[in-house]
């Protein structure tokens, strides 16, 4: 039998591969260098050019780029009017930022359980979490598969909640033929290097609402405005500006904006290869004993940011932890997305307890994120497949 490296076999590869990696080409480098030689490193022309490009790609009326995806979520909560005493419903199977943004505003994150097949937030579970205090819903498009935006939008409308889509994984995906980014009241993106396109650090909020747009820009720029129509007092002169809201400095630099603009030119290419890798993984792992796959809803035409397998303990003699270590021994360095947010000590101290979302807790015990990024070679993909198969077969019950 083909012995896994952890049991004394030869690793499938000698070079380490990680679960994600950015792809930077000469055009990206040139774009950055040209900004460095220009008059503006920040607050310059790259910002509005990038915002226009994001609107074109998503079909949203307005885009507000910002420092990172977490800032985008915070700005969206501020624009939604989330404040002390409010509740914000979100999924536990996400990065901590999806809950933290509610806490920044003095509101309480409420965790609704996920669907056991798609791992996205369950609309039925959201409904059971709604109270008079529910102000907003933050749905994550987990792994890049669109959340059920139609159902979730209807729930939000019925209960007068603001619908925020945490689209950190979703750029490149379509829901019912429409690009994610123009469907929810506000959609946030992250441009961290592990995401599908990157600006180093960066984020954006997209919306069709002029009212949200105005508030998002204020939230990004200290609550300061030069727009006379928004000012409360008479102008002192051409230099005049007013602070009318407690905002932040959440700006993106022109250096980052130029990098992201150049990356977005490759989005179709990135998306295409991600889909091809996912198709190879699906074919290889379908029916493999001990491995569970994520279900795709027909409404989502998905550009996957993450590729997740589940390690099914009932069919294997090892668990997820051992499987993860066995992959590392093969030089395949995976990750786990995510530790349920309310497991973190900070959330425990706020009073959240294990048992809140049993499905998310169960899925968390089983998941591993395999390498998935643009620029993986056929050999890389073959190595990952070979490693998963040899471990699953060796430890099959
Ligand atoms: C990456 C991520 C964020 C945060 O984005 P940053 O740009 O790292 O601040 C928020 N939510 C989800 C689901 C993410 O994956």
Quick check: 393 pLDDT over 80? yes
Residue 110: the pLDDT is: 98
What average pLDDT score do residues 236-260 get?
Answer: 97
Helix (H) or strand (E) holding 225: strand 224-225
Question: Is the beta carbon of 340 within 6 A of some atom in ligand 1?
Answer: no
262-317 residue pLDDT tens: 999 999 999 999 999 999 999 999 999 999 999 999 999 999 999 999 999 999 99
Distance CA 359, CA 365 (A): 10
Q: What is the mean pLDDT of the chain?
A: 98
Question: Is the beta carbon of 68 within 6 A of some atom in ligand 1?
Answer: yes
270-279 residue pLDDT tens: 999 999 999 9
Nearest to 284 by CA among 309, 306, 261: 309
- Among protein residues, the one whose CA lies closest to atom 7 of ligand 1: 69
Structure tokens at 314: 């009932």
Helix (H) or strand (E) holding 379: helix 378-394
| pTM strictly above 0.85 | yes
Q: Which atom of ligand 1 is nearest to the CA of 337?
A: 15
58-115 residue pLDDT tens: 999 999 999 999 999 999 999 999 999 999 999 999 999 999 999 999 999 999 999 9
- Among protein residues, the one whose CA lies closest to atom 5 of ligand 1: 69
Confidence at 251, pLDDT banded by 50, 70, 90: very high
Structure tokens at 114: 């996920």
Sort strands 162-166 and 134-140 into parallel, antiparallel or unpaired: parallel
113-125 residue pLDDT tens: 999 999 999 999 9
Quick check: 233 pLDDT over 90? yes
Taking the centre of ligand 1 as the mean of its atom positions, its distance from the CA of residue 226, in whole angstroms, is 31
Question: Is the beta carbon of 194 within 6 A of some atom in ligand 1?
Answer: no
Cα-based distances in Å from 346 to 69, 82, 202, 223, 350:
21, 21, 25, 29, 7
What average pLDDT score do residues 136-157 get?
Answer: 98
Which own/partner contact pairs does 109-113 have at CB distance under 8 Å and 24+ positions apart?
A: 109/341, 110/134, 111/340, 111/341, 111/342, 111/352, 111/356, 111/357, 111/360, 112/357, 113/356, 113/357, 113/358, 113/359, 113/360
| DSSP structural state of residue 204 | E
What is the percentage of the chain residues whose pLDDT exceeds 70? 100
Ligand 1: residue of 190, 194, 204, 341 to mutate (most ligand atoms within 8 A of CB) is 190
Residue 384: the pLDDT is: 98
What average pLDDT score do residues 40-59 get?
Answer: 98
Question: Is the beta carbon of 290 within 6 A of some atom in ligand 1?
Answer: no
Residue 112: the pLDDT is: 98
Quick check: 259 pLDDT over 80? yes
313-349 residue pLDDT tens: 999 999 999 999 999 999 999 999 999 999 999 999 9
What average pLDDT score do residues 255-261 get?
Answer: 98
Taking the centre of ligand 1 as the mean of its atom positions, its distance from the CA of residue 203, in whole angstroms, is 9
Helix (H) or strand (E) holding 370: strand 367-370
Question: Is the beta carbon of 207 within 6 A of some atom in ligand 1?
Answer: no
Residue 143: the pLDDT is: 98
Question: Is the beta carbon of 337 within 6 A of some atom in ligand 1?
Answer: no
Distance CA 19, CA 372 (A): 6
Question: Is the beta carbon of 140 within 6 A of some atom in ligand 1?
Answer: yes
Question: Is the beta carbon of 187 within 6 A of some atom in ligand 1?
Answer: no
Structure tokens at 364: 């968390």
Contact present, 301 and 144 (Cβ < 8 Å): no
174-212 residue pLDDT tens: 999 999 999 999 999 999 999 999 999 999 999 999 999
Nearest to 310 by CA among 274, 351, 379, 360: 360
Residue 357: the pLDDT is: 98
Question: Is the beta carbon of 168 within 6 A of some atom in ligand 1?
Answer: yes
What is the percentage of the chain residues whose pLDDT exceeds 90? 99
Residue 1: the pLDDT is: 72
- Among protein residues, the one whose CA lies closest to atom 15 of ligand 1: 168
Residue with tokens 């589940």: 310
């Amino acid at each position: 039998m083909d012995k896994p490296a952890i049991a004394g076999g030869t690793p499938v590869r000698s070079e380490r591969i990680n679960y994600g990696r950015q792809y930077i080409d000469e055009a990206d480098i040139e774009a950055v260098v040209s900004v460095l030689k220009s008059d503006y490193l920040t607050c310059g022309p790259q910002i509005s050019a990038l915002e226009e490009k994001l609107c074109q790609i998503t079909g949203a009326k307005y885009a507000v780029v910002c420092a990172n995806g977490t800032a985008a979520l915070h700005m969206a909560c501020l624009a939604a009017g989330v404040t002390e005493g409010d509740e914000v419903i979100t999924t536990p199977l996400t990065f901590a930022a999806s809950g933290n943004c509610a806490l920044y505003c003095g509101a309480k994150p409420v965790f609704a359980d996920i669907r056991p097949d798609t791992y996205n937030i369950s609309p039925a579970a959201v409904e059971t979490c709604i109270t008079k205090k529910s102000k907003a819903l933050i749905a994550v498009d987990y792994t890049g598969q669109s959340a059920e935006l139609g159902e979730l939008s209807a729930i939000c409308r019925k209960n007068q909640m603001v619908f925020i889509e945490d689209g950190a994984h979703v750029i490149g995906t379509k829901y019912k033929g429409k690009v994610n980014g123009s469907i929810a009241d506000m959609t946030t993106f992250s441009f961290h290097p592990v995401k599908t396109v990157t600006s180093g650090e960066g984020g954006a909020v997209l919306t069709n609402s002029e009212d949200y747009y105005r508030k998002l820009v204020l939230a990004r720029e200290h609550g300061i405005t030069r727009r006379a129509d928004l000012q409360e007092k008479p102008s002192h002169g051409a230099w005049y500006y007013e602070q009318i809201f407690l905002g932040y400095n959440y700006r993106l630099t022109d250096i980052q904006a130029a990098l992201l603009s150049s990356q977005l030119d490759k989005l179709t290419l990135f998306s295409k290869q991600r889909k091809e890798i996912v198709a190879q993984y699906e074919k290889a792992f379908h029916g493999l004993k001990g491995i569970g796959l994520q279900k795709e809803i027909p409404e989502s035409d998905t550009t996957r940011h993450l590729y997740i397998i589940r390690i099914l303990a009932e069919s294997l003699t090892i668990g997820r932890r051992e499987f993860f270590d066995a992959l590392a021994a093969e030089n395949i360095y995976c990750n786990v997305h995510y530790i349920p947010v309310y497991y973190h000590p900070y959330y425990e101290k706020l009073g959240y307890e294990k048992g809140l979302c049993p499905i998310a807790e169960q899925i968390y015990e089983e998941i591993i994120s395999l390498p998935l990024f643009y620029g993986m070679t056929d050999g890389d993909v073959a190595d990952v497949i070979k490693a998963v198969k040899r471990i699953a077969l060796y430890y099959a019950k």
